[in-house]
Amino acid sequence: MSEYHDFYTAQLAENSTVPTLLCGHCRSILPAKRIFANEGENRYDLPCDTIGLCSADDCGAVNCCDEAMRAADRERDENRIAV
């Protein structure tokens, strides 16, 4: 399988109360149900632990969510300290 060589890096939306990931290609919101662990029989051949599939009709990009998830974790930690 070589059709997933092109992938994008998901971005963390700023100033959102709930961590929201954006498609690195078209910047539309990645639905939570299309973000999943890259493992098991659905595994994509990508160097990422978490994959997000864009649901925009004209995009459909495969996004690597690792960095955005880490950023979301950091943000959560900072919020916890602030509260």
Closer CB to Zn ion, 16 or 79, in the complex: 16
Q: What are phi and psi of 36, to 5 degrees?
A: -150, 160
Residue among 75, 61, 81, 74 nearest 3 (CA): 61
Tokens 């950091």, residue located: 74
Site string for Zn ion, 43-62 (x = CB under 5 A): -----------x-x--x-x-
Tokens of 44: 């994509």
Q: Contact region for Zn ion (CB under 5 A) — 12-20, 25-33, 43-51, 69-77?
A: 25-33
In the complex, the residues that contact Zn ion under the rule CB under 5 A are: 23, 25-26, 54, 56, 59, 61
